[in-house]
Amino acid sequence: MTNQLGRRTLLGTAAAAAIAPNARAAGQVVVGTWGGDYAALLGSNIDKPLMAPAGIEVIQDVGTQDARRAKITAERASRRGSMDVACLSDIDLYTMSLLNVWEPITEENVPNLKHVPKAYRTAYSVPQIISGKVMVYNPAKMAAPAGFIDMWDPKNKGKLGLIDIQYLYVIMLANLAFGGPMNDFSRGKKALMDLKKLEPRIYPSNEAFAVGMKGEEVLYGPMWLARGVFWKKGGINMATAVPKEGAIAYVSGASVTKNGPNKANGLAYLNAMLDPRSQVGFAQNMSYAPTIDNAPVAPDLMKAIGFTDAEQAALHYPDFEYLAKETSSLLDWWNKEFKA
């Protein structure tokens, strides 16, 4: 399968026509994205093999999701913005959609959308990859956590790692651990104030957390299933455990800004994100499950990066409307109360 995909990416003009039916013959597209592993994989699975043959140069605008949202918000009244494509979580994509900054997405302007199950679709974005929030741990140093609630076990004092940029999900899982709903995080906030007594270590990024796990600064923490599988393949002594409370679904996707300088190329980029070749590449190299129904991912890999039927039935999905109203205050609480 790998060799076949490799030959397909070398078809030049034919590949360009397949992925970019609405793109100009040449030009650029500015893609706002995270850095690190994700940006590198965009380059190796989309930018070079899929966009370059279409004559489109990809300029990555690397930064945090907060900086990306702020830039788009500041530029929304401008006739011409500086970003064509914005990669964000499903929560952020929804929140920004309320500002009317996204170009509508249809099967006409993003043809590969027809292969996305309707449950994953929105009118303003494409879902690129999907995973879920689980627990990762060092199996040589501790037993598998039964659930998120194990984070509050006193015997694990000083062993827990949390990630700053995932503050919404940390508050969300704390709320679930103590029986709270998805649209009121008061229980989770109270629980996290108690968790401070157990001295969790807070890392600025996913990659920094991985370094902490590798060096055994921490022994466990909440993380995406995909990342746990990816880091284990990379040599970190790490295992994953689906929490008894149920994993939290996470979808990362992208939208095209209405005032982007190269909207046609931006739509072509979204189409390439849903191309089976790039979807298989992210599954193989970053361990995220595909969001299309025609990605030829090997069954053994899908077993590792996906969820069983029972686990899928127990998945919790973020309440976008609630989070759109509360994210600002939750971030303020996280910085001023929990991290203080």
pLDDT digits (tens, 9 = 90+) for 49-82: 999 999 999 999 999 988 999 999 999 999 999 9
- Higher model confidence: residue 218 or residue 18? 218
User: Residue for token digits 């990362």?
Assistant: 252
- pLDDT of 235 > 90? The answer is yes
**pLDDT confidence bin for 185, thresholds 50/70/90:** very high
Query: Which is nearest to 186 in space by CA: 197, 175, 200?
Result: 175
Q: How far apart are CA 101 and CA 69, in angstroms?
A: 10
Secondary structure (DSSP) of 87-114: EEEHHHHHHHHTTT-BPP--TTTSGGGG
Q: What is the mean pLDDT of residues 171-180?
A: 98
Which DSSP letter does residue 43 get? I
In the three-class reduction of DSSP (H, G, I as helix; E, B as strand; rest coil), residue 37 is classed as: helix
**pLDDT confidence bin for 15, thresholds 50/70/90:** very low
Domains, the chain: 2-129+252-305 (3.40.190.10), 131-249+308-338 (3.40.190.10)
Rounded to 5 degrees, what are φ and ψ at 35? -90, -150
Tens digits of residue pLDDT in 78-121:
999 999 999 999 999 999 999 999 999 999 999 999 999 998 89
- pLDDT of 238 > 70? The answer is yes
Structure tokens at 132: 């879920």
Give the burial class of 286: count Cβ atoms within 10 A of its Cβ; 0-12 exposed, 13-18 middle, 19 or more buried.
buried
Tens digits of residue pLDDT in 2-12:
333 333 333 33
Beta bridge partners of 240: 136
Q: What is the mean pLDDT of residues 37-48?
A: 96
pTM above 0.85, yes or no: no
**What is the rounded radius of gyration, in angstroms, for the C-alpha atoms of the chain?**
20
Contact 166, 252 (CB under 8 A): no
Residue 7: predicted pLDDT: 31
